[in-house]
Structure 1
Amino acid sequence: MAGKFGRIRLAAALGAACATLVVLPTAAQAAPTAAQAAPAAAADPHAGTLAALKAFQSAAGPGAGVYAGDAANSWSLSAGTGTINTNAPIQPDEHFRAGSQTKTFTAATVLQLVDEGKVSLETPIEKYLPGVVQGNGYDGNAITVRQLLHHTSGIAAYEPLLSRPAANPDGSYSLDALVREGLKRAPASAPGTAYLYSNTNYMILGMLVEKTTGTPVHRAITDRIITPLGLTRTVFPAPGDHSLPTPAVNGYHGVRFAGLYFWTPVLDYDPSAFSSSGAMISTERDLAKFYQALIGGKVVSPAALAEMQNAKGADYEGGGYGLGLIRRDLPCGGSAWGHNGMVPGYYSMTMVTADGRHVSVVTNAHLTTNVPAAQMDKVVTTALCEGR
Structure 2
Amino acid sequence: MLKSGVAALVVLTLVGCSGGSPRASAPATAAIFVDPATTPLDPAKAMALQDVLAKIVATPDVESGSRGVTASVVTDRWTWSGAAGKDARGTALTADTSMAVASITKTFVAAEVMLLAKAKKVDLDAPISTYVKHKLTANNATVRQHLSMTSGVPNYRPDDYTRMDKAISAAPGKHWTPEQALSYDTAPVGAPGSTYNYSNPSYVLLGLLIEKVTGQPLATVLRRDLATPAGLQHAAFQDGEKPQPPAVVDANPGCGPANDGYLPCRSIASLSAANGGLAADAPTIARWGYELYGGRVLPADLVSEMTKGEGEYGLGTMRFTGQFGIGTAFGHRGELADHTSLLVVIPEKRLSVALLFADGNKQVDTAMTQLITTLQPLLG
Q: TM-score, normalised by structure 2?
A: 0.75
Q: Which of 303, 314, 329 in structure 2 is aligned with 1:336?
A: 329
Q: 1:378 maps to what in 2?
A: 369
Equivalent AA in structure 2 for residue 245 of structure 1: Q
Distance 1:197 1:357 in 2: 27
Question: If each structure's strand is expressed as a fraction of its own residues, which one has the higher value?
Answer: 1
CA deviation profile, 1:271-290 (whole Å, cap 9, x unmatched): 10101001111110011111
| C-alpha distance 161-291 of structure 1, shift in aligned 2 (>3 A) | farther
| C-alpha distance 233-376 of structure 1, shift in aligned 2 (>3 A) | same
Instruction: Identify unmatched segments of 5+ residues in structure 1.
Output: 4-25, 31-39, 255-264, 315-319
Q: 2:192 maps to what in 1?
A: 191
| Residue 356 (structure 1) aligned with residue 350 (structure 2) | yes
Number of aligned positions between the proteins: 326
Q: Secondary structure at the match of 2:183?
A: helix
Equivalent AA in structure 2 for residue 117 of structure 1: K
Alignment of 1:1-388 (within 5 A): 1-2=5-6, 28-29=42-43, 45-46=48-49, 49-50=52-53, 53-54=56-57, 57-59=60-62, 60-82=65-87, 84-85=89-90, 88=92, 90-134=93-137, 139-141=138-140, 143-158=141-156, 162-164=162-164, 171-182=174-185, 184-187=186-189, 189-238=190-239, 243-252=242-251, 268-270=265-267, 271-312=269-310, 314=311, 320-330=312-322, 331-354=324-347, 355-367=349-361, 371-379=362-370, 381-382=372-373, 385-387=376-378
Q: Secondary structure at the match of 1:140?
A: coil
| C-alpha distance 161-282 of structure 1, shift in aligned 2 (>3 A) | farther
Q: Which has the higher contact order (CA 8 A, sep 6+)?
A: 2
Q: How far did 1:132 drift?
A: 4.3
Does structure 2 retain, via aligned residues, the 8 Å contact 1:56–1:375? no
Q: TM-score, normalised by structure 1?
A: 0.73
CA deviation profile, 1:140-197 (whole Å, cap 9, x unmatched): 32x1111101111121112785443968997111112222322x2113x532221111
User: Which is worse superposed, 375-384 or 122-131?
Assistant: 375-384
CA deviation profile, 1:103-152 (whole Å, cap 9, x unmatched): 10000000000110111222111222234435xxxx332x1111101111
Distance 2:328 2:155 in 1: 27
Instruction: Identify unmatched segments of 5+ residues in structure 2.
Output: 8-39, 254-258
Equivalent AA in structure 2 for residue 67 of structure 1: S
Q: 1:6 maps to what in 2?
A: none
Q: Secondary structure at the match of 1:98?
A: strand
Q: Secondary structure at the match of 1:224?
A: helix
Give the structure with higher Rg (CA).
1
Equivalent AA in structure 2 for residue 311 of structure 1: G
Equivalent AA in structure 2 for residue 342 of structure 1: E
Distance 2:370 2:264 in 1: 28
Q: 1:36 maps to what in 2?
A: none
Q: Secondary structure at the match of 2:343?
A: strand
User: Which is worse superposed, 110-119 or 344-353?
Assistant: 344-353
Distance 1:140 1:212 in 2: 20
| C-alpha distance 269-44 of structure 1, shift in aligned 2 (>3 A) | closer
Q: How far did 1:366 drift?
A: 2.1
| C-alpha distance 215-62 of structure 1, shift in aligned 2 (>3 A) | same
| C-alpha distance 383-213 of structure 1, shift in aligned 2 (>3 A) | farther
Does structure 1 retain, via aligned residues, the 8 Å contact 2:175–2:266? no
Q: Secondary structure at the match of 1:335?
A: coil
Distance 1:350 1:247 in 2: 21
Does structure 2 retain, via aligned residues, the 8 Å contact 1:251–1:344? no
Q: Secondary structure at the match of 1:64?
A: strand
Distance 1:233 1:343 in 2: 19
Distance 2:94 2:125 in 1: 42
CA deviation profile, 1:39-82 (whole Å, cap 9, x unmatched): x9xx9654884577457744343211222242221223433223
Q: Secondary structure at the match of 2:366?
A: helix
Q: Secondary structure at the match of 2:70?
A: strand
Distance 1:348 1:56 in 2: 18
CA deviation profile, 1:332-386 (whole Å, cap 9, x unmatched): 442121111112421111111224212111111224xxx3244344345435645
Distance 1:29 1:253 in 2: 36
C-alpha RMSD over aligned residues: 3.3
| C-alpha distance 51-251 of structure 1, shift in aligned 2 (>3 A) | same
Distance 2:353 2:216 in 1: 32
